[in-house]
Amino acid sequence: MKRKLNHLLRYLKKRFSGRQVFDEKVRAYLTLRCNLNCEFCVNNHVDGGKNLTNYSLLGASEWIRIFNSLERDIVITGGEPFLYKELRNIVQRVNRKLEITIYSNLTVPIKGDTSWLKRKGLSIYGSYHPLYSNNKAFLENIKILKQLNVKFSIHAIDVMGKEKLEHICKENLGDEIPDITIDEDQREIYDCASKASRKKVRCSRKIILIAPDGNRYQCVSRMARQVDPFENLANESFTTARRIVICNDYGYCAPCDGVGETSFTFLNEGDNIEK
């Protein structure tokens, strides 16, 4: 009931303000390792980004404690979540009232006991990367999800022209996935990632983005650069979803940092508005 009410309030806020509204979910990057190497991957193309495979990883128990204490629905993302060895453990043990969405490229073979994927409230948001992925592995995993009746949807990023991409999807996936969604390449949409120039801004975001080591960051860019973390949720209390920072890196944000309940106010060099 509470969830439905929140959903309605978010819808109305978005409908009448015309702006994107925070979905109240936690975004957890269990690992930033990935088995693919997509040219458009935001994680690997942040200016000044560190080697993300070196991030230290929290264990399943620490993640479960964080999720249960936050009491918010969960988006598990990355990197490729199926490379995180204790993914199953987290899904099975986290508070059953919380919904979980796993963002995955669906090319890591799903092996062994698959019953955990049938958990109530679990869904998969799959991304298909025909230029970078193994088609056979992808289709095998789709088959498993269908057999288990797991709720899933698939999208692809338009990096080659919509018509061409649709044609490739149809050729590779046949009738298995007739309703694939084609999304715009975010690199071309957001001014904050244009790399035209670096500007100073007051950056206000409502987001809960947790890195593999438990640190919360304002954005994917700061997580990739490993600079200016907020609290570490493995051993500190959650503060608040809305955070406001002064940042000199506008223009060099990751494309996805422009998404969501985000606003930027341009500042002059001398300005130093209180955070």
Q: How many residues does the chain have?
A: 275
274: Cβ contacts below 8 Å, ≥ 6 apart: none
Q: Which residue number, 36 or 182, has a Cβ lying nearer to ligand SF4? A: 36
Q: Which residue number, 63 or 217, has a Cβ lying nearer to ligand SF4? A: 217
Residues that bind ligand SF4 (CB under 6 A): 34, 36-38, 41, 43, 78-80, 105, 127, 129, 192, 201, 203, 218-219, 221-222, 245, 247, 249-250, 253, 257
Beta carbon of residue 35, minimum distance to ligand SF4 (angstroms, whole number): 7
Beta carbon of residue 6, minimum distance to ligand SF4 (angstroms, whole number): 25
Q: Which residue number, 64 or 206, has a Cβ lying nearer to ligand SF4? A: 206
Beta carbon of residue 99, minimum distance to ligand SF4 (angstroms, whole number): 22
Q: For residues 167 and 25, give the distance between their C-alpha atoms in angstroms, rounded to a whole number.
A: 34
Q: Which residue number, 152 or 250, has a Cβ lying nearer to ligand SF4? A: 250
Residue 11: C-alpha distances to residues 4, 6, 8, 15 (Å): 10, 9, 5, 6
Beta carbon of residue 17, minimum distance to ligand SF4 (angstroms, whole number): 20
Pick the closest to residue 125 from 193, 170, 181 (CA basis). 181
Q: Which residue number, 101 or 127, has a Cβ lying nearer to ligand SF4? A: 127
How many Cβ atoms sit within 10 Å of the Cβ of residue 170?
13
Contact 22, 207 (CB under 8 A): yes
The helix/strand/coil state of 148 is helix
Beta carbon of residue 185, minimum distance to ligand SF4 (angstroms, whole number): 11
CA end-to-end span of the chain: 36
CA-CA-CA-CA dihedral for 25, 26, 29, 34, to nearest 10: -10
Q: For residues 116 and 4, give the distance between their C-alpha atoms in angstroms, rounded to a whole number.
A: 25
Beta carbon of residue 204, minimum distance to ligand SF4 (angstroms, whole number): 9
DSSP H helices in 193-235: 220-225
Q: Which residue number, 64 or 165, has a Cβ lying nearer to ligand SF4? A: 165
